[in-house]
Amino acid sequence: MNKNKFTSNKGFLLSAIGGAVGFGNVWMFPCKLKEYGGTFLIFYLLLAFSVGLVLLNLEFLLGKYLRTDVISLYRVNAPKIKIIGVLTMISPLIILTYYCAAGGMCIKYLCKNIISVFQCEKINLLLNFDGFYTIVFIVLIYWLSRLKVGNGIERFNCIAVPLLMLSIVTWAVILIFGKNFDDIIKEVFKNNNYSMKHCLKIFATASDQMFFSLSIAVGSMITYGSMMPDNQNTVKSSVSVVIADTLFALAMSVVVMSASINESFIGNGPQLIFDTMQRVFDNGGHRGNLLGTLFYFALIIAALTSAVSYVEVPIYAFTEVSTFKRKKILILCLFIVLIPAVYITVENFSAFYRKISLLGEGIIIPLTAFLSSLNFGVLKEKELIGEFLNKEIKSGFVRKIFSFVLKYIAECVIITVLLFQIIAFFK
């Protein structure tokens, strides 16, 4: 039996927040907020603090009270859909693939800005091969994850997550009092289209963003939950994660949109971070490159806190059901993602990246969430989840709200997302 466990409530909570905070907040949220405006923001906030909160709590409950890995969880408690356990282990590896690619590019642009800050133009980047930086990022993941959770991931998150949140939120607060903030508000709430068809599309987009931002249905929160301290309250932890994650997404949106208010957004995602933002920093001269250094350093931290949570899913699963050592499984997982991650970097985040991101985020995650919530939230709500909720929530009224959202609202939301993403995948 795997005896991997967090050593403190604080360590677990910060690690869970770190697992949620990532590139979904950094580039996806600002891009979608820019494109869909205030309607997207309203939908996202409503969904995150209702469906997102309940589904996140469900994963913490399953982890805490069943104390098992994702494969064994479904094989024992949901044998008819045990394939979901395999999908739940595959999806974080798919996401980890482009996390490694993007994390490597953050390292490249960090180096670029540092060279500009110290005016060492003669010292060109040692390697022009972008895949090199992807390998560096993968080595960092190995270094952080090679030890058990309490000695590696927990210690890292206890330092990295407060530093990350403080830096980005402080930066955002400063910008709120700047001259561009009014323009951002106008940009977000201008020309909102309230037609039924458009609102339904935005609703599906906000729902999809919620799943990815909160790391729901990728196995990491179940895995972390199975290692949480016995006295950790799952509901309070879920609320804390949702608040922190949403705060970071909003703060990052202020930072990105303030910096690029006079620039055109180039595409979605990587182009925004590695093209638009870098152009802004370059145009700012010495001061701009200094801000660029801080920006990409913060992104590297955000990428690492999420990446280590993703790779922990297969590590925990295989150390639980086999005699393989942690380091061997870690090396195998990182080797699996190495080649596709380098390929994504070399092809500049084009067709292959879009397809696997849509497959992982758009199809596997909603499908996993639907079957998981159907099995544990509807079919086994009384015999399993109801018993767990009674231990975590004292108020009968609050328990009824949680059960109602899990049984009815969550299922409708997930089906909506799944239908839209399947259509998008085959376009």
Phi then psi dihedrals of residue 152, to 5 deg: -115, -75
Q: Is residue 3 part of a domain?
A: no
CATH of the domain at 300: 1.20.1740
Task: Check: CB of residue 175 under 8 Å from CB of residue 255.
Answer: yes
Residue 204 identity (one-letter amino acid): A
Q: Is residue 314 part of a domain?
A: yes
pLDDT per position as a tens digit, 284-308: 888 888 989 999 999 999 999 999 9
Lowest mean pLDDT among 119-128, 157-166, 215-224: 119-128
Q: Is residue 4 part of a domain?
A: no
Domain that holds residue 408: 9-425
Based on the structure, what is the number of domains in the chain? 1
pLDDT above 90: residue 10: yes
Q: Is residue 46 part of a domain?
A: yes
Q: Is residue 2 part of a domain?
A: no
Instruction: Specify the pLDDT at position 104.
Output: 94
Phi-psi category of residue 32: left, alpha or beta, with phi > 0 → left and psi -120 to 50 → alpha:
alpha
Instruction: Specify the pLDDT at position 143.
Output: 95
Upper half-sphere CA count for residue 367 (Cβ side, 13 Å):
18
> Region 404-408: what's the mean pLDDT?
87
Instruction: Specify the pLDDT at position 381.
Output: 58
Q: Which of 50, 51, 40, 41 is nearest to 199 (CA)?
A: 40
Instruction: Specify the pLDDT at position 1.
Output: 47
pLDDT above 90: residue 244: yes
Q: Is residue 1 part of a domain?
A: no
Q: Is residue 417 part of a domain?
A: yes
